[in-house]
């Protein structure tokens, strides 16, 4: 009986110690997040910006890639990141970076099989928008550069030019680092259309304000 009491007491002390250590770790993490947020605010302020206007998004794009000259089409998948800044309540500017997750195969004219590999994508956009409560309706207009290669095809497979699209953004009740609200978004974009090449599709993602 005495041994059982001692064992229970030892376990209680151990749990108490672990709880105290967990609390210390939690407090240090909160302090670190607050310090990082303060440094971010100072860095942005030195450039004349406010952290409240800065946001980021990450999404997965399901695209349609077509080359009309050879009757080829495929369905590549990309990973896309966006960093934006609110200039005005109804206008933001954004920078976009994307990279291919998977290419795709397809059959062109005369039964020829081609395989596409998607590379990096870059873009810069103006983003006009309308806020309806937690829901935001937006458009994008800017310039983008795409890169892709198609095995067995020596012609133009990518390009740079006008890029545009539209989408929806919904701010949820979920929160992340420093109680930052998390949003869900969906959009349809044309990244490039020219020289017989068309690169467009849907992207689903999530975002967070800094």
**Domain span including residue 28:** 1-49
Give the chain's domain count: 2
Q: State whether 189 and 97 are in the same domain.
A: yes
DSSP string, 171-193: EEEEEEGGGEEEEEEEEEEEEEE
Cβ atoms of residues 132 and 100 within 8 Å: no
Q: State whether 63 and 32 are in the same domain.
A: no
Predicted local distance difference test score (pLDDT) of residue 11: 53
Spatial CB neighbours of 185, under 8 Å, sequence gap ≥ 6: 57, 59, 167, 168, 169, 170, 203, 204, 205, 206, 207
Q: List C-alpha distances in Å: 204 to 47, 55, 162, 185.
A: 31, 16, 22, 6
Q: Which residues of the chain have pLDDT under 50?
A: 5-7, 15, 18, 22, 24-26, 28-30, 32-34, 36-37, 39-41, 44, 49
Q: State whether 30 and 131 are in the same domain.
A: no
Predicted local distance difference test score (pLDDT) of residue 29: 40
Predicted local distance difference test score (pLDDT) of residue 62: 96
- The dihedrals phi and psi of 134, each to the nearest 5 degrees, come to -80, -10
CATH number, domain containing residue 162: 2.40.160.20
Predicted local distance difference test score (pLDDT) of residue 153: 84
pLDDT in tens, 124-180: 999 999 999 999 999 999 999 999 888 888 787 889 999 999 999 999 998 877 778
Q: State whether 194 and 177 are in the same domain.
A: yes
Domain boundary, last residue among 15, 30, 49: 49
Calpha distance 63→50 (Å, rounded): 34
Cβ atoms of residues 107 and 113 within 8 Å: yes
């Amino acid at each position: 009986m005495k041994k059982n009491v001692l064992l229970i007491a030892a376990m209680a002390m151990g749990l108490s110690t672990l709880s105290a250590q967990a609390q210390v770790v939690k407090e240090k993490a909160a302090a670190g997040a607050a310090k990082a947020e303060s440094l971010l605010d100072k860095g942005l302020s030195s450039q004349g910006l406010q952290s409240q206007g800065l946001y980021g998004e990450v999404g997965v794009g399901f695209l349609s890639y077509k080359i009309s000259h050879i009757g080829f089409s495929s369905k590549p998948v990309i990973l896309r990141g966006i960093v934006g800044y609110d200039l005005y309540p109804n206008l933001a500017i954004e920078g976009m970076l994307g990279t291919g997750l998977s290419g795709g195969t397809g059959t062109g004219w005369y039964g020829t099989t081609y395989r596409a590999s998607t590379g990096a994508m870059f873009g810069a956009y103006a983003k006009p928008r309308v806020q309806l409560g937690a829901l935001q309706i937006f458009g994008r207009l800017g310039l983008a550069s795409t890169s892709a290669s198609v095995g067995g095809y020596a012609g133009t497979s990518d390009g740079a030019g006008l890029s545009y699209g539209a989408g929806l953004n919904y701010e949820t009740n979920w929160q992340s680092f420093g109680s930052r609200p998390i949003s869900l978004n969906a959009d349809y974009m044309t990244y490039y259309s020219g020289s017989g090449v068309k690169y467009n599709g849907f992207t689903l993602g999530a975002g967070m304000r800094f």
